A and B are shown apart, each in its own frame.
Chain A
Amino acid sequence: MTVAAEARQSTATVTFAKALNQALADAMAADDKVLVFGEDVAELGGVFRVTDGLAARFGESRCFDTPLAEASILGTAIGMAMYGYRPVVEMQFDAFAYPAFEQLVSHLAKMRNRTRGALPMPVVIRIPYGGGIGGVEHHSDSSEAYVAHTPGIQVVTPATVDDAYWLLRSAIASPDPVVFFEPKRLYWSKARLTLPVTTGPIGTAVVRRPGRDVTLIAYGQSVPIALETAEHAREYGYDLEVVDLRSLVPFDDATVAASVERTGRAVVVHEAAGFAGFGAEVAARISERCFYRLEAPVLRVTGLDIPYPPPKLEHWHLPSVDRVLDAVERAMSA
Chain B
Amino acid sequence: MTLLDLPVTAHRGDPAAAASYWDTDPLCYLDRHGAPVEGGLRPAPHLLAADRLLAVYRALRLARAFDTEATALVMQGHLAVYPSSRGQEACQVAAALSLQPQDWLFPTYRDTAALAVRGIDPADALTLLRGSWHCGYDPKQWRTAPQCTPLATQAPHAVGLALAAKLSGDPVVALCLLGDGATSEGDFHEACNSAAVYQAPVVFFVQNNQYAISVPLRKQTHALSLAHKAIGYGMPGVRVDGNDVIALMHVLGEAMERARSGGGPTLIEAVTYRIRPHTNADDAARYRDAGEVELWLGRDPVERLAKYLTATGRLDGGLDAAIAEEGAKYAAAMRDQLTDEPAVDPADLFEHVFATPTPQLRAQRAMVEAEADAREAGERR
Let me know if B167 is at the binding interface, CB within 8 A. yes
Instruction: Judge whether A61 is part of the interface by a CB distance below 8 angstroms.
Output: yes
B68: A residues at CB distance < 8 A: none
Q: Does B134 contact A (CB under 8 A)?
A: yes
Write the B93-130 contact mask toward A (1 if CB under 8 angstroms, else 0).
Answer: 00000000000100000000000000000000000000
Q: How far is the CA of A251 from the CA of B361 in the complex (A)?
A: 11
**Which of A82, A83, A106, A117 sits near B352, CB closer than 8 Å?**
A117
> Does B140 have its Cβ within 8 Å of any Cβ on chain A?
yes
Interface membership of B72, Cβ < 8 A: no
- Tell me which of B30-38, B187-195, B284-292 binds A: B187-195
Distance, CA A81 to CA B161, complexed state (A): 8
- Bound-state CA distance A113–B158 (Å) is 19
Which residues of A1-18 are within 8 A (CB) of B? 1
Q: How far is the CA of A87 from the CA of B167 in the complex (A)?
A: 13
Chain B contacts for A87, CB-based, 8 A = 160
B354:A152 contact, CB within 8 angstroms: yes
The answer to whether A107 and B157 have CB atoms under 8 Å apart is yes
User: Could you tell me the dominant secondary structure of chain B's interface residues?
Assistant: helix
Knowing A72-B194, A75-B153, A75-B187, say if A116 contacts B133 (CB, 8 Å): yes
Are A69 and B190 CB-contacts (below 8 A) given A76-B163, A102-B150, A151-B353? yes
Complex interface bits, A96-111 against B, C-beta within 8 A gives 1, otherwise 0 = 0001001100110011
Most B CB contacts (10 A, CB to CB) among A78, A106, A152 go to: A78
Any chain B CB within 8 A of the CB of A176? yes
Identify which of A66, A113, A249 gathers the most chain B CB atoms within 10 Å of its CB. Answer: A113
Which A72-126 residues sit within 8 Å CB-CB of chain B?
A: 72, 74-85, 87, 99, 102-103, 106-107, 110-120
B47 CB-CB contact with A under 8 Å: no
One digit per residue, 1 when the CB lies within 8 angstroms of any chain B CB and 0 when it does not, for chain A 312-327 equals: 0000000000000000
- Decide yes or no: A71 and B186 within 8 Å by CB, A79-B162, A107-B153 being known contacts: yes
Q: Are A106 and B160 in contact (CB under 8 A)?
A: no
- Report if A134 contacts B (CB, 8 A): no
Out of B135, B161, B186, name the residue touching A99 (CB < 8 Å). Answer: B186
A103 and B153: CB pair below 8 A? yes
| Contact across chains for A78 and B164 when beta carbons are under 8 A apart | no
Cα of A99 to Cα of B356 in the assembled complex, Å: 29
Q: Does B76 contact A (CB under 8 A)?
A: no
0/1 per residue, B354-380, Cβ < 8 Å to A? 111011100000000000000000000
**Complex: how many Å from CA A117 to CA B134?**
12
Return chain A residues, CB-CB under 8 Å to B197: 67
Q: Is the CB of A82 within 8 A of B139?
A: yes
Give the CA-CA distance A117 to B133 in the complex, in Å: 13
Give Cα A114 to B153, complex, Å. Answer: 15
Among B138, B351, B355, the one with the most A-chain Cβ atoms within 10 Å of its Cβ is B355
Closest A residue to B106 by beta carbon equals A79
**Across chains A and B, which 7 residue pairs bring their CB atoms closest together, nearest first?**
A79-B160, A75-B156, A83-B164, A72-B190, A76-B160, A79-B161, A79-B157
Given contacts A78-B157, A117-B351, 19 further A-B contacts (CB under 8 A): A35-B167, A71-B156, A71-B190, A72-B156, A75-B153, A75-B160, A76-B156, A79-B158, A82-B139, A83-B160, A83-B161, A103-B153, A107-B153, A115-B134, A116-B352, A118-B140, A250-B360, A251-B360, A253-B360
